[in-house]
A and B are shown apart, each in its own frame.
Chain A
């Protein structure tokens, strides 16, 4: 009985997280010019400053930047392009991960 109660509690805790992840949008930015981690820090700084951005992941080797938004927030391509430019790089492509 105790085990069932514990499982129910864990499920109750996990459900909102699962729901939030399902509702949050993720975008993939192909960024040209990314050649070193120290320089790429500017990308993280600029994109993280956008309202609604929950997480920024940078993959230097493949020139990819993955931006995860908070629930309900969206990222426009133009805003992403501007922020990448402010960081000193060039946005080649922008796509939303389904």
Chain B
């Protein structure tokens, strides 16, 4: 009876050795909303009864590990300050010569904007996000397409938006569950500071462009295997992330790239080379 249990942790440990259980935690946690930052979190929700259709493509490259993911997100506006939705990802992973593709872990999320201060041409607001990533991806594939765990993310964000300037700040905590093999990826803290600039004043019926620059910080605790810390896991990474937000009425295109500027990863881990994201969004 114990044999499979003994074998599987070794396999899991090998599976996670290169990136120290960091990669999947990041790629499937980036729900983007309306006029929010590309990688960070903003307080935007959706109008009551509104539907947001969001198509997302991401690439995460770190040494020999490459992870591509595409996701469809559907969001519904419950009230003018409260929205909820579902994220359906499709992932392709490469680890050296091995690759796998298929369904990733499905997530459900909700965001509530609990404070809003509106003045002429300016909206300041604060929101809280709750997201749950389910264990629905193929975690038996090699490399794994799902984490085999149920994870939860709690986020708090503040945003200031004006006709010319934008600024956001956010903090997210990700609690990662353990899988059947006794592996628990370390919890993560994500911190974001974002500035945005609109070069030309907006007109409702004309295309609108906002340039973004984000500072994204990520701290991850060490992963544990049956209660023992895995040495080559966890640590801190900082990114500088330029991005663009282009919209025309109810259609938006967002794109950005995360460039690592500092890292302090534990043990022997491959540092992130870059992460890129492209998103298309419709409000219906």
Contacts and interface: CB of A to CB of B under 8 A. Distances in A.
Interface in B193-211: 198, 201-206, 208, 210
B249 A45 contact: no
A92 B252 CA distance: 28
Interface residues of A, number: 28
* Chain B interface helix/strand/loop/mixed: loop
B164 to A, nearest CB: 9
B50 interface: yes
Contacts of A89: 80, 118, 123
A63 B202 CA distance: 11
A28 B11 CA distance: 66
A36 B202 contact: yes
Given A37-B203, A38-B35, A41-B250, A87 B163 contact: no
A23 to B, nearest CB: 27
Contact of A42 (B162, B163, B206, B283): B283
B220 to A, nearest CB: 33
A29 interface: no
Nearest to B163: A35
Interface of B: 34-35, 44-50, 77, 79-81, 113, 116, 118-123, 161-163, 198, 201-206, 208, 210, 247-250, 252, 283
